[in-house]
Amino acid sequence: MPDSTDLLSLTHLHTALDLAERAIGLSDPNPRVGCVLTAPDGRVIGQGHTQAAGGPHAEVMALRDAAQHGEPTAGSTAWVTLEPCSHHGRTPPCCDALIAAGCARGVALMRDPNPLVAGQGLARLRAAGLTVLALDEAPDDEARALLARAHDLNIGFFARMTRGRPWLRLKLASSMDGRSALPDGQSQWITGPEARHDGHGWRRRASALVTGIGTVLADDPTFTVRGWPCERPPLRVVLDRHLRTPPTHRIAQIGKADPATPGTQVYAHAATLADSAGRERQMRLEQQGVSVLAWPGTQAHDPASAARLDDLAESWSELGWNEVHIEAGSRLAGAFWQAGLIDEVLHYLAPSYLGPGQPVLNLPDLPALPALPLAWRVAQALPLGQDTLLRLRRV
């Protein structure tokens, strides 16, 4: 076993989690994983984190780091934030690489919920004679804090593996009285630069950024990540029943203008794509590099219905999307909310009151006050310049 001092302090797993965070905006659809290798005398001899899909995983990067520094790995301990993979995907199994390197011990923060792994990586290490410990099997208080951080880091991956749907995060910005615009639709920046910068950091985590045609027509957004390093930009997705997205708008042209940025996806009603005018609009968008897709599942009239949003979310899981970031107008945001699909809310509150105006969420009248306890909890309250972020999660 690793010595008791290491097990009590868990310093190397803290470092491994720091490394794993470097895979944000890089590793999707793979989980964000970090690995630290220590020699039998406790020295750190290698470190690494998951690379872009198809590239090396954290364990292989740590082994390469040790090799580059001339450090032998026989008898070493691998400290990893997630169970080493045991299956052949785009890369060989990481547990085989650790075995071949002569590692003697493995300490994993969490077991992998992927059915292709699900304990098999740890089992293969044990079968090869390694001493293996998974901290989520019997965590103490310090391990529980690490586990919470590790779970949040890969919350979308875990959601996709366990329930077949990505983690859906809704971003809102409003005055204190919940208004995003004046009654006539007049709007400007509700929040300050610090809050907007933080919002781009959350965009960076996502596999896809989702908005509606109303936002595209009103704001002509680029819907990109700015102010943060992001080697794998998230996809931009527009939900547009009648395919009204103008080919001249920036969200349609950005993929063609910047080959490093993936093109936008537009979901339209199947009936729209079946008529000649719809096909003509589709062709003009595709000439700009836009992918035009028919809404999956039921052919109900309204693509913002709960049933169709369920179908859509499930189809995103099949595409390997882990976290989906929604920034939309009050109607589409309200539709996702009413469908019960939102897992987390980022609500940026400006210290202002607008009075009568457009709500940040379009919701129906409640027949009665909700019963206590409420279905949501405040997971974080964070001052950002003049504004405040309230991060909500379901109880």
Q: Is residue 158 part of a domain?
A: no
Residues 149 and 67 in one domain: yes
Is 32 part of a structural domain of the chain? yes
Could you tell me if 317 and 176 lie in one domain?
yes
Amino acid at 76: S
> Quick one: pLDDT at residue 307?
56
Give the number of other Cβ atoms within 10 Å of residue 160's Cβ: 26
Per-residue pLDDT, 257: 72
Q: Residue 360: is it exposed, middle or buried by C-beta count within 10 angstroms (0-12/13-18/19+)? A: buried
pLDDT band at 88 (very low <50, low <70, confident <90, very high): low
Residue 9 has a pLDDT of 58
State whether 184 and 145 are in the same domain. Answer: no
- The mean pLDDT of 36-60, rounded to a whole number, is 94
Q: Is the pLDDT of residue 269 over 80?
A: yes
User: ∠253-255-256 over CA atoms, to 5°?
Assistant: 65
* Sequence letter at residue 188: Q
* Same domain assignment for residues 107 and 203: no
Nearest alpha carbon to residue 379 among 138, 155, 211: 155
pTM of the model: 0.91
Q: What percent of the chain has pLDDT over 70?
A: 94
Q: Is the pLDDT of residue 118 over 90?
A: no
Q: Is the pLDDT of residue 205 over 90?
A: yes
Q: Supply the range of the domain harboring residue 290.
A: 165-394
Same domain, residue pair 87 and 185: no
* 350, part of any domain: yes
Same domain, 273 and 353: yes
In a domain, 22, yes or no: yes
pLDDT at 315 over 60: yes
pLDDT of residue 8: 39
More confident residue, 3 or 216: 216
On whether residue 160 sits in a domain, the answer given is no
Clarify whether residues 330 and 201 are in a common domain.
Answer: yes
Q: What share of the chain in percent tops pLDDT 90?
A: 67
Both 211 and 285 in one domain: the answer is yes
pLDDT at 4: 42
CA dist., res. 357 & res. 176, Å (int)? 12
The whole-angstrom separation of Cα 209 and Cα 204 is 9
Domain end marker among 153, 174, 204:
153
For residues 176 and 298, which has the higher predicted lDDT (pLDDT)? 176
**Residue 14 burial (CB count, 10 A):** 17
Range 269-283 average pLDDT: 93
**Residue 365 domain-assigned (yes or no):** yes
Range with the poorest average pLDDT among 86-90, 100-104, 312-316: 86-90
Instruction: Give the residue with greater pLDDT, 162 vs 6.
Output: 162
Asked if residue 298 belongs to a domain, the reply is yes
> Is 369 domain-assigned?
yes
- 350, two tokens: 């400006």
The stretch 242-246 carries a mean pLDDT of: 95
Q: Please, what is the average pLDDT of the chain?
A: 89
Write out pLDDT tens, residues 125-151: 999 999 988 888 877 888 888 999 999
- Residue 124's alpha-carbon distances to 89, 95, 111, 235, in angstroms, are 17, 7, 13, 36
- Which two tokens mark 256? 């063609």
145 with 253, same domain: the answer is: no
359 shares a domain with 304: yes
Domain count, the chain: 2
| pLDDT for residue 1 is more than 60 | no
pLDDT (mean) for 97-104: 94
Domain shared by 330 and 381, yes or no: yes
Q: What are 160-195's pLDDT values in tens digits?
A: 999 999 999 999 999 999 898 877 777 777 899 999
Q: What is the pLDDT of residue 306?
A: 56
pLDDT of residue 301: 46
Q: What is the pLDDT of residue 2?
A: 44
Does 98 lie in the same domain as 14? yes
So what's the pLDDT on residue 305? 58
Taking alpha carbons only, the member of 92, 57, 53, 98 closest to residue 78 is 98
Tell me the Ramachandran region of residue 129: left when phi exceeds 0, alpha when psi lies from -120 to 50, beta otherwise: left
Q: pLDDT band for position 372 (50/70/90)?
A: confident
Q: Verify whether residue 59 is a known catalytic residue.
A: yes
Poorest-pLDDT segment among 178-192, 260-274, 350-364: 178-192
Domain edge (last residue) among 153, 178, 199: 153
Out of 218-227, 318-327, 367-376, least confident range: 367-376
Q: Which of 21, 59, 231, 323 is catalytic?
A: 59
